[in-house]
Amino acid sequence: MDTEQFLAIFKEINSAVLIEIGVVIAAALLFIWCSQRLLPMLANHLHGKQRLFVLALIPTVRVIVFIFAIVWIVPLVIEPTARNMVAILGAAGLAIGFALKDYVSSIIAGVVAVYEVPYRPGDWISVDGTYGEVKHIGMRAVEIVTPDDTVVFIPHLKLWSNLIHNANNGGPSLMCVVDFYLHPEHDANQVKHLLEDVALTSPYVQLAKPIVVVANEEPWGTHYKLKAYPIDPRQQFQFMTDLTARGKSCLRELPVNFAQLSPEHAAQVGPY
């Protein structure tokens, strides 16, 4: 399209058109400003779902006003012929497609997720350091609930570039790991058997799965990892708390001392 064809798309703009465009823009901005002030005031006098509904109207009203203003202004500037509309819609479609490329990529990744099943409702997953239970899998994102009862929406787009850790992978078994740090001067076999007994006597333990104690000698002491499975993955935090509390109580009855980590050594302690 040469310069003359491009300019032919637009109408001749005079002062009356400029004034009308200015009035439309001013009216749209005024309406948005009023809605952003009045709707929160109205929401403060409501409760529950009604309050949340009114607050959700604020961005919706803003989008509707913007669309209305664009629909009003475009015919004032562009000659509304079939050829012109095809050119404008083509350019708009290209711009929208570029702007929504991540959204479309997330939808495609959602289709891949349905086929590969990297997660499913009930799974406990970790993505980008966010850990929680999968509650819902949508077309664009997966909804998880963290242990702090926070809902997090993770786009399926993360499938392309991030590691996704699935703790139970659709099954009822989820390993829990509890750490104990002891001074090196002690009977390691005695501590190992004691920690195994602590796990065996927990009301949350899944007896059909193995209980493992892993010991690792560090410069500051001995690092023990007690690994076991709760009956239900949703009990993992109660299970870990029970193992930690009873494990510490039982260890205090032995002739052992807990390790005292220096700040520089504490930073070196991490999961296997």
d(CA 196, CA 227): 9
pLDDT at 238: 95
- Report if residue 171 sits inside a domain: no
Beta-carbon count within 10 A of 235 CB: 19
- Report if residue 54 sits inside a domain: yes
Query: Which has the higher per-residue pLDDT, 58 or 95?
Result: 58
d(CA 247, CA 243): 6
One domain, residues 93 and 24: yes
Print the domain residue range for 249. Answer: 176-268
pLDDT at 111: 78
What lies within 8 Å, CB to CB, of 66 at 6+ separation is 28
Give pLDDT tens digits for 204-219.
Answer: 999 999 999 999 988 8
State how many domains the chain has.
3
**Residue positions counted in the chain:** 272
In what helix (H) or strand (E) does residue 189 lie, and over which residues does it extend? helix 188-200
pLDDT at 87: 65
> Binning pLDDT at 50, 70 and 90, where does residue 227 land?
very high
- Report if residue 67 sits inside a domain: yes
pLDDT at 6: 52
Beta-carbon count within 10 A of 260 CB: 11
Q: What is the average pLDDT score of the chain?
A: 83
- Report if residue 250 sits inside a domain: yes
3-state secondary structure of 13: coil
d(CA 99, CA 266): 45
One domain, residues 229 and 195: yes
Give pLDDT tens digits for 18-31.
Answer: 888 888 899 989 98
Report field, pTM of the whole predicted structure over 0.85: no
Give pLDDT tens digits for 143-198.
Answer: 999 999 899 998 888 878 888 899 988 888 899 999 999 998 899 999 999 999 99
One domain, residues 64 and 134: no
Share of the chain above pLDDT 70, in %: 83
* Token reading at 52: 């949340």
